[in-house]
Structure 1
Amino acid sequence: MQPSSCGYPGFDLFCDAFNQTLIDLPNSGRFTVQSIDYATQNIWLNDPDHCLPRRLLQLNFSDSPFNGLFNQDFTLFNCSSFDYTGYKYDPIGCMSGENYTVVASSAETAIRFLASRCSLIATVAVPVQWQFFAPVMTSDLADDMRLGWNSPRCGRCESRERRCGLRIANSTEIECINVDRHVLPRPARYAIIIGVGLPAFLFLIGFLYFLWSRVQSYRRRGHPMMELSMVVAPRSTTISGLDEPTIDSYPKTILGESFRLPKPENNVCSICLSEYKPKETLRSIPDCQHCFHAECIDEWLRLNPLCPVCRNPPKSSHP
């Protein structure tokens, strides 16, 4: 257990004998920490005894700094005599027994069907992974809970690769500190400057000499227009990208193990051509709802405001 002087209240993490990272929620008990994203202020939790659906029945975040970002209502039923196997329902194994089966659903048609054949246990709000969720016929509710927190607000600090920490020990006042993550030794920096700068300087001299010799050649031949075209470069048109506040305002989402996407067929980032994987951060363009890896689309939008897929400009943006 970490000392009281280290960390923010309510974020006490510790390890058990099996080297699992755990956290205690005041009114809900102990959970395993599967992942933390400090930039988006998200945390993924599960049950150390591998029966999260049972824990969901007593879930209470009233005295906790965490809350469910996207909640979906699931209704649980106890089916003692109903043969669910013919309907391809997914049972909750850790809550079922030899003579009864527990199933959960969020679809109205399945709930009405099960209510006429099974006993109602409860309807619970489940913190799901994705905000664009569709009704589910049945689920074993084993996916990690995705929770978020509002205080302390360290997301912007962490996203800029800075360190968010307590200003004074045993207090709740925080500060954002610059961290030199990639500082090279001075001899290494000098070697890079000499190794890169000298060849570039020699190339520039050679290129300028080539231009000068071409200009002199055209002068001797009496082609003033050709001389002018060699010296004066054509004016190019530049396309300005979006500013950082506009890019930060576009929705950002963390993929969960369930891997639910707004458009399931669009499972490849159109910029880097890589398939999406769980725990990756995606950002979508609000006007057309096309999704990409957050780091890919951020770099794109800084240079070009158009959507890489549909090439539509944003309807509104900061000047």
Structure 2
Amino acid sequence: MDFTKIITFSLLIFSLLIPTRITATCTNAVCRRGDPIIRFPFRLKPHQSQSCGYDKEFDLTCDTNGVNRTTITLPFSGNFTVEMIDYAAQEIWINDPNNCLPKRILTLNLTSTPFSGVYSRRFSFFNCPTSEYLPLRPLNPITCLSDENSTVFATASPRVVNYLSSQSCRLMKTVEIPVRWPFYEQAVSFSELSDNLWLTWRVPRCFRCEIRGGKCGIKSNSSSEIICSDAHKPAIPRRARYAIAIGAGIPGTLILFGLFCFVYSKINGCIKRHRLVPHPEINNTRAHFHQSGISIMGLDGPTIDSYPKIVLGESKRLPKTDDVTCPICLSEYEPKETLRTIPSCQHCFHANCIDEWLKLNGTCPVCRNSPEQILPSENLNS
């Protein structure tokens, strides 16, 4: 082996021993005080280099109208102000710089962006003659779209949609709107639709790095590989962790496994009894009602349809942190599954599970309270 090959081989070994680092020239940026801090995967043009951001779709700017607000440009939808960025949750909250978000929602198109709604609700926009407008208690006009001759409403309630369709109102458009929570305002309507649009991105996936306090970015001398650096390391040395795992981990694992088997057998037996063998009290109660000429009735279809329905996002986050499984089928919720909630108690279920339940039982299967209708037909004109 000649001297050149020896030097080359030595440099290769030395480079492998050096810790991999993220591009070192990237520092945090901000447009103005109080605005979100801008860092990977976002990039502030032209103050940060191209390698500081993941892609051009994550480019942000400071507007030139004197306000200096953080701005993002969405293809086919225009400019929006950036109100907040949650890097650990991978969420960005945007709004309309001209304070008429409903107008922007009508033309919102996210198909050419890396963003999607954290949650989404289907809303119908109606234009009604002002002269024939009858005040609806749960429904307020969208002032920035209304004028002296017409009043614009937006609703997610099927009953309100049916009611407005039967009046002298014109359906403008039905759109999927990214919202903060799927149960916001009990799924009846938005008064001004002025809350921020909550969007999320799936790639790059840096939330684990962020949670550990690390810094996510593009690997040095690479065009696309994403790495995590400066993440918090365990305080216990590696050898000590091995000793603990061997000395305490194996017995502890056996104990936990035995406990798991015991609990599983109990739960599995309980599930089978509830699924296969009707409870005697339920049978006696039903027999008593049948003999008395009283039938157990569930809710009607329109009432069930009026309850909020959402498609679960990738984060699987719900308002109640302990809502991870469907109380009816006992299956864990998965992304893209359709859920429905009972407005009066906000208990969540798989839509198919709770729909079948409510057809036969007029009470919530968790708290046993009788669900109230969101918007009874007799109150539409009140």
Q: 2:168 aligns with which of 114, 117, 124?
A: 117
Is 1:79 aligned to residue 131 of structure 2?
no
Q: Check 1:140–1:59 CA distance in 2 against 1; reply closer, same or farther (3 A cut).
A: same
Change (3 A) 1:251 1:60: closer
Counting aligned pairs with the same residue, the percent is 42
Hey, what's the Cα distance between the residues in 2 that align with 1:95 and 1:154? 39
Letter of the 2:180 partner, please give it: Q
In the TM superposition, what is the alpha-carbon distance from 1:143 to its structure 2 partner?
A: 1.1
Aligned twin of 1:70: 119
Q: CA deviation at 1:89?
A: 2.4
Partner of 1:18: 67
Q: Which residue of 2 aligns with 1:151?
A: 203
Amino acid at match of 1:6: C
Does the 8 Å contact 1:6/1:169 carry over to 2?
no
2:301 pairs with 1:286: no
**CA shift for structure 1 position 168:** 3.3
Amino acid at match of 2:62: C
Preserved CA contact (<8 Å) 1:166 1:172 = yes
Q: CA deviation at 1:139?
A: 3.0
Aligned match for 1:101, one of 151, 161, 186: 151
User: Where do 5+ consecutive residues of structure 1 fail to align?
Assistant: 181-238, 241-248, 254-260, 263-282, 290-319
- In the alignment, what sits opposite 2:228? 176
Please give the TM-score of this superposition, normalised by the length of structure 2: 0.47
How many Å apart are 1:152 and its aligned residue? 0.7
In structure 1, the residue matched to 2:96 is 47
C-alpha distance after superposition, 1:40-72 (max 9, x if no partner)? 111111111111111111111121010112111
Q: Offset at 1:250?
A: 9.3
Q: Give distance in 2, aligned partners of 1:138 and 1:101.
A: 14
The CA distance in 1 between the partners of 2:164 and 2:190, in whole Å, is: 11
Does the 8 Å CA contact 1:42/1:149 hold for their aligned counterparts? yes
**Structure 1 residues 164-173 or 109-118, which shifts more?**
164-173
> Gapped runs of 5+ residues in structure 2?
1-44, 233-254, 257-313, 328-382
Q: Distance in 1 between matches of 2:76 and 2:84?
A: 21
How is 1:239-258 mapped onto 2 (pairs within 5 angstroms)?
251-252=316-317
AA matched with 1:68: G
1:142 Cα deviation from its structure 2 partner: 1.1
Q: Is the 8 A contact 2:138 2:188 kept in 1?
A: no
Q: How many residues align?
A: 197
Residues of 2 paired with 1:143 and 1:18: CA distance? 20
Matches within 5 A, 1:124-135: 124-132=175-183, 134-135=186-187
What amino acid sits opposite 1:111 in the alignment? Answer: V
Distance 1:152 1:103, change over 3 A: same
Cα separation, partners in 2 of 1:85 and 1:285, compared to 1, 3 Å:
closer
**Is it true that 1:92 corresponds to 2:130 in the alignment?**
no
Matching residue within 107, 110, 121 for 1:61: 110
Amino acid at match of 1:284: D
Which has the larger share of helix? 2
